[in-house]
Amino acid sequence: MILSKYPYVIQKEILDNMEYSDLFMFSFVSKKMKKVIKSSQMDRFNSISSIVYECDRTDQSWVCISKKWIEIMRIVKHEEGGNGYFQLNVCGKTIDFRQTSFHIPFIPKLQNVSFCVDFHLFGDRAKNGTTNFTEMEKLEKFFCSSPVLKSIKVSAGTSTAPFNPESKFYQTESVESEQDTLIFPAILSHFQGRQAFIRCHSCEIFNLIEFINRWKSGRALQKLEYLQIEIFEPELRPNQILNAVAAKQMNATSQPATHIVPKIYNWLYSKPNTDPIISHAYVVRETDSRVASVQIQDNTLSFGVWNKTEEEFLKMVS
């Protein structure tokens, strides 16, 4: 069947009933066909909010349409001498395609595209109940070969080796992490992004104090706008932490301003904005006098950075 011989109305009806994966492959037939697909399927394409790269336990990357989980294609490592490949021209580059395969996962570098990754870092369970992740070298290669991510959602046990402090893991704009300890991943020590949400089973109070003092000094976390740490144990004592970081207090009669910002990426079933911070306690960064509100309640430390100097901040809440 030569589709181009049919009127546009019939072409559109045929394309309307094709799967996304077929439309994707069909778009490589010719430039004219690509234009027909784009013009006739614009409503379908506009309904796609995001694309998901899903890697299963066999290291096989699925490219799917978010929420509907409609598969478009799989990205695989080229097998030298493999059979079943056919070549298509993509943006001036010849790429081999085939029906199915296995591979070491990677994320392609595409213009005007942001990537978000959800993964779990667990290994074999030890007698004490902990799980030890042993594939750090492979994971670091994944981050090294990938663009800086917009958001990472991670669940982590322990590890035989830490992330490199300069790893692209710490460069992501936003990270949501559930982890056994604050040591792995060491987000408080090396994070370079804007938003971090951590649920940690246990921690040292010293780590929280050190994090706030490092921000105050201006030596680290310079892009940070919001950080939240929920601790299961030990119990957090607000006065102990606030006194240790020399936190300042607003006038008790003043009404604290509410710090709340939109989340960089809204993972499924999560709220679009950060939890509000309403606190009289705040700290000031030495290098530029920027203010951050500090709130400790329900064994959760919340830290929100204002785009204001101390003078501007106090004038705002007076």
What are 233-286's pLDDT values in tens digits?
A: 889 999 999 999 999 999 888 899 999 999 999 887 789 999 999 999 999 999
Q: Is the peptide bond before 185 cis (omega within 30 degrees of 0)?
A: yes
Question: What is residue 169's DSSP assignment?
Answer: G
Q: What is the model's pLDDT at position 287?
A: 95
| 267 CB-near residues (< 8 Å, 6+ apart) | 116, 118, 151, 153, 176
Work out the pLDDT band at 167, boundaries 50, 70, 90. very high
Percent of the chain with pLDDT over 90: 43
- Percent of the chain residues past pLDDT 70, beyond the cut: 82
Tokens in use for 83? Answer: 């059979």
What is residue 123's predicted lDDT score, i.e. its pLDDT?
Answer: 62
Residue 200 is predicted with a pLDDT of 93
For 166, which DSSP code? Answer: T
Residue 228 has pLDDT above 90, yes or no: yes
Higher pLDDT residue, 27 or 313? 313
Q: What is the pLDDT of residue 8?
A: 87
Q: How confident is the model at residue 103 (pLDDT cuts 50, 70, 90)?
A: very low
Confidence of residue 104 (pLDDT cuts 50, 70, 90): very low
In this prediction the pTM is 0.70
> For residue 120, what pLDDT is reported?
82
Cite the beta strand spans of the chain per DSSP E: 51-55, 61-65, 70-75, 86-90, 93-97, 116-121, 124-125, 131-133, 151-156, 158-159, 174-179, 195-202, 226-233, 248-249, 258-259, 277-278, 281-284, 290-297, 300-309
List the chain domain ranges: 1-47, 49-105
